[in-house]
Structure 1
Amino acid sequence: MKSTRKYLSAALGLLLLSNSVVGNAATAASNGASIELPPAPAWGHFVDNYKNSISANQSVYSNPVIGVLSGFQDLWEPGTSWDNGTKLNSSVLDYNIQYVANIAATRTAEDEQLAYLVDRRNQSYGATEGLGALADVYRDKTGTFTTITSIPDDAISVKYNDGNGSNKAGDSDSELGKMVDLIGTLRGNYASSNPAKNFYSYMRPYRWANDTSMIVPTLVPAISTTPATDGGFPSGHTNASYLASYALAYAVPERFQELLTRASEMGNSRIIAGMHSPLDVIGGRVMATALAAATLSDPDNAALKQDAYDQAHAFLLTETGTAEDRFTDYEKNKAQFTQRLTYGFDQIQSTTEPMVVPKGAEVLLETRQPYLTGEQRRAVLATTGIASGYPVLDDPEGWGRLNLFAAADGYGAFDSDVTVTMDASKGGFHAADSWKNNIAGTGKLTKEGTGDLKLLGANTYSGGTQINAGTLESGSATALGSGDVVNNGGTLVEKAAGKMTIGGSFTQAANGTLELNVDSANDVLEIKGAVNANGKLQVNFPSSYVPSAGSVTLMSYGAGQQNGQFAAVEISGVPSQYNTQVVYQANQVVLEITNKSNSGGSTGSGNSNPSTPSPTPAPTPTPSGPVDPSSIGVTVAAKADANGNAEAAIDDAQIKTVTEQAQAMETGSRIVTLTVEAADNAKAVGITLSKAAVTNLSNGKVDQVVVVTPFGTLTLPSTTLNAIEKAAGSNIRFEVAKSGADTLTPEAKRLVGTRPILDISIESGSTSLSTFGGGSIQIDIPYTPAQGEDTSAIIAYYIDSNGKANAFNNSSYNNGKVTFVTSHLSHYAVGYNKISFSDSSSHWGASFISYLAARDMISGSGSNQFAPNKNITRAEFAKILAGVAGADVSGYTASAFGDIKAGDWYLPYVSWAAEHKIVEGSSSNEFKPNVSISREEMAVMLKRFTDQAGFTLPKTASAVAFADQSSISSWAADAVASLQQAEIISGKGANAFDPKGGATRAEAAKMLAVLHQNMNKL
């Protein structure tokens, strides 16, 4: 509901003209921005003299805070007392108070609640809300607290103060103690707004009206009874809020814009409260910006700020918080922050003054844009500042015109050539960053080093673009400006929706890669100039867009403007029933897509793209029991010809004999082994059986047939044999052949290295039998790990027709073999995908963590950390289960649980688990996603998971009664017993299960890794 009280007296001469104040938004800085140091003002450069900001210095010349805000003297002349100053610009100052009146007339109960909490709480506590989900983690780790947890019933008559009165608000000896100290240092001895308030003696809004009804009712008891020492300009709350936020943003630059938005919200709440005017809040922001830069630039604080950053990334960003994040909407954040820079004031002075950057201001972007030099960060600040002419903001050094929200989005213009050198090995923003501003100017952009830089703005810079190394992504129609684009050796990625334009020519050298992501038929790369093609062309069709037969235009250019062709072309995402070929035409490059059934074969040389679905764990076949290749079988020798091909045939009589031997077995699995011994010079081994032999082996006569070659072993269960027998013509030929790495993509080559690559096939005459009516084949590839290799990270890969490696997540390494189960035959390789976490290498659960991470089933918690000893939440466990299942959760957009809403990262995983009856909510229809999962809850989810997968848990251990068996809930007892006998869970010390206790991330990794390995045995 809205307040309906009277706010201003008619005697003040201010009328309530509307319910909102409309003003001009801040605009971008004008041309002519300079990164040169501005001349020192009368009080000296702020960063050099900030320690003069003390109460003993009460003049523009002696106190740099009073000096940097001295533009206020163009509007207001202080008097001899708090209530007798002189308005020098009535229109501006009247608007200033009218703004508060209009806000007071329209504020809601929610607005008033926020205003109360911001007013009464410690500002350093309040600023932590900008950390989003990690706010609770930071508060818990640092002991940052507030005693103002709600609005007391008697707040309209009683003033309540926060029991946490410390500027730093937390414990210096905590795990994040340096972050705490950085806040305390920025809010230290030189950060008080009182000297400036006393100097300017500008009244608070309600004193202008002599009417306290402007103030939120619950804050009336907080009104000072000493107005002479209670000036309004600048706002002390705003100053403190920004200082705390700047400290947090330096340590956690990943939340830079969110923290600034929170600071601006806290400042704005002072207007909503009726305690301050817009000019008061602007003054508080400007002084805080200068103070933060000065403190962070001070050499005495160099070690502290680095330690704060390091602690944040080691102990905060590695955690998963549960606090509400109200700052996830980028566009909303940007709009609110930008409006609060000027609060709609008209420009009252020259609007075209060049932007200048204060000395030392670049430190404010030091961790947000660490890959830029100090001079480059100054250029960012210079080209993103607001226009001149606004009240108070045209200080000589430029503090008032800085727009740090915009600066975090990169350059606003290339006024000279810009070279960006990134280093992905350092992680964070060194590895990847996005520039969202609309970049103008005449300069050129050059991308060097590793790492990925994304350009997302409507850019008009004209100096051209050059990619020498790393990746440059273009995410808008004009991301690359209006000049030429040259790719000398990096990767240029097109990710714009619809047409993307290169304003000049496009040239690519032999080592360059152009990646086009085609989301629709409208996604075309338009090149205004010539095309000089070389290197690699990568074309990706995502799952959301499936092209049909015909042609897709990839790029267009002027007639006769194409020179050369791409040396290599790779196409991904085209359905397997199509062939593809890149065709160069007079004014465009198109991708011809033809149906295989109509074309009679591949239409391209090196450009065709028959694809096979990515491998997924196959259903566990009915047969079970250990495979023993030495039980019953036939061994034949095969000589290799001049080309290395070794062929063997087994006659029907031999097959009949071993089949009868198998059928005569009274116990155990009936396994027939067919072994081919080939000469050392063999490169391919084939073994042929007649149709009669296959019939003899199928139809339930044996449980498994094992085909053993020097390069790999195939295990065929009876269901697969039956399918082969039905499809067979006269003969069946099995072949296992070595293959090379020439056709592999660079990423596949990295994963595979020099490890084995095989081409495995089963043929009947001229027909390839690549699938088996839902049946499966187990493949074992011999491999000796290299010294130092973690066997948990050794994986089998399916190599598709484009040379891309697709992981078989069901593969594992044991006893000198890489084993996996597949439902189709093709090209396979042994690969190595070691994902290391700095906090887990020597942990007891390292091998289980490595197993799951290598298969992309789990991820870390940030900054190369896994946090193995941290309790896992219900949502995190649901996500890992979905990963183990290989589930496609992209279609889940809603949840039946009341505490899971659209946009929550865990929604699709929990919805998937709920649909498959793996999870259930509470009686209040809540899932409680961020609550730590108990050990018995985890057992129940695992048991439901195996039931839904149709997997029967083995009983490899005797049943055990835990010491705390009676504490296990009745609904969990059966699940705990089943998992214990399957050796997936075990007790803790003293044979206790601890059913209500939380499970750590490492414990969960062990259970899931063991379960996954069991589920994928043939």
Structure 2
Amino acid sequence: MKARNVKVKLRKLSLMLILALCLSLVPVAAFASSSSAITLKTIADTPPGGSVLISGDSTFNEVIIKVLRPGNSTAYYDITPVTDGHFSSSFTLSSTETGGAYTVVAGQANQVATTTFNVTTPTLPSTVITPVFSPAAGTYSTAQSITITTATAGATIRYTIDGSTPTVQSALFTGAISVTTTQTIKAIAIKTDMNNSAIATALYTISTVIPCVTSCDTPPIDGATPTPTPTPTPTPTATPNGNPVTPPNSLATPVAVDTSKNVVKSVTDANGKVTTTVTQDDTALATALDKAFKQDNHGDDPIVTLTFNNAKGEAVVFNLSSSVLAAAALNSPNTIVSLQTNDGEYSLPLSIIDFAALAQSLGTTGDKISIQVNISTVANDVNAKIKSDATGITTSQLGTAIEFSITATGNGKTIELNNFGTTYVDRNIVLTIPVDDTHATVVLYDPITGEFSFVPALFEKLADGTTKVTFKRNGNSIYTALSSTKTFTDINKHWAKTDIELLASKLVVKGATDTTFAPDSSITRAEFAALLVRSLGLTADAASAASFKDVKAGDWFAGAVGAAAKAKLVSGFEDKSFKPNNTITRQEMAVMVARAISAAGKKPAASSSDALAKFTDKASIGSWAQVAVAQSVDAKIISGMTATTFVPTANASRAQAVVMLKRLLQFAEFVN
């Protein structure tokens, strides 16, 4: 019996060797004529990593099977017994197999059958077609009803209305979006088994025009009588009062909110960052707000404080009831809710929140909406990047960067609140070291571009050696304090050296080159507008410059001119030009400065007759500029060329512009 088994094995081995040799020498085409002794069944197309079943009928006792790749290399080999005239063999393709036609050869010697099957590589899912907006993005004089569509059938659309990037968790588009203010909408289309679409972005500018009656910042064309020029009217998302909040000399006594019934929950992310959500008890918050409203605040706005003693590096999210805040806003819209942690303080004026608009956007009622205020030091890797970027502009970081944000949540949706109109909102941080306020500055950090932008800030040295920093801006972002010492080779003996170095160190002004300032060179209208925008901490807005025929989107000054126009700092000539490259005159500069004073929340009280009485050339000041010149002179921001002359049509120099800006910033309490 053993001898017989040995003979069978030897016979099989011999057949395998013979067939292997034949198959290796004979091209696949030679198997084209099949034998009646064996047939193969059709094999379905199979992807890499899939299972292949080879089966058929044969009169042999066993068949030899070989599978060849498109290049004739062997993918599979087997000897399979035939039972009752049928045989089958299966194997799994490698996951790395290439696509193409694979050939199956089965049989013995020259009596074989062949068939082919395709190895199909996975087809990448198609991409959903990018959404489109109707009406298209642009500037409109009335509110617009925006619809978003995609040509991909069955796709859903998610969108944001605050300029943030939409995700699958963003608001679901179910009906027209009402746009009543300048707003950026972003949308993405999504469908199962397809790639998400590209992000579509649309900026809508809603500008109701009003005439510039009493003071236009530009003289009339050809010396004619000034014609009122339409000026875009900003339409902020809040009801701004234009005043910085939490004034340091406030006479109101802050009312502390009872936190004993608060719900506190902490979570830790994969990087070890702890975020603690503090949900304020509604009754306690309402009680404190009512007490603050009813007490004698000596003419100042009511203030309530909510404090959480967080650990170092622990992010804190204060969760507040929208309905409680809205009820308090009805009594006193300028009530301030001061949210305090060990990392920073956020003074939230209720006037910046449009509670009715939030309810409409979220599609729910106010009692189902919560307001979240986040105060958090940035992650270590982000702070390291900030330090690196600061070194690149020869500055050093004075403390860990901190992020402030406000969101509203309801009906499964979240909206970020990041546009406070003309209201400057205070934040406070404490630096653990004393600093020189002439070299220190607070900046907004853009993590995408790595750029820093000046933020108005005051530095106060405390008795314990630390430094309290109060900075203000009309939006949220990442902020950090920097120290910088900047000078230029051509200002060593210049009369404006100190002021130039001060504003250059605070990143307000830049040199003509890296090493020179050109202090006595003239300054253009666009350059001065850019300086004003930077001084007020405004965000560039090129779209708002579209009304000027000589300001193109690609111009370096487009964003600054647009921001200045949006903030009503500038307006154009009657031919709808801005003349950005014209040298600015002293009276034009005075008008821009006066408007900046107003934008900063200050109201100098001066009549033209009082402030201009000392100037013998006051009659040469354009009627459109007299009030503005008077206000600027009264605020001691602009003075005469001499004790008795103003010389309104003289051109201003870069040095004169810097001195005016420094005085403006100090008058507005934007720098020490």
Shorter-chain TM-score bucket reads 0.3 to 0.5
Larger RCO, structure (CA 8 Å, separation 6 or more): 2
Relative to the length of structure 1, the TM-score reads 0.33
| Greater helix fraction, Structure 1 or Structure 2 | 1
Relative to the length of structure 2, the TM-score reads 0.48
Rg larger for: 2
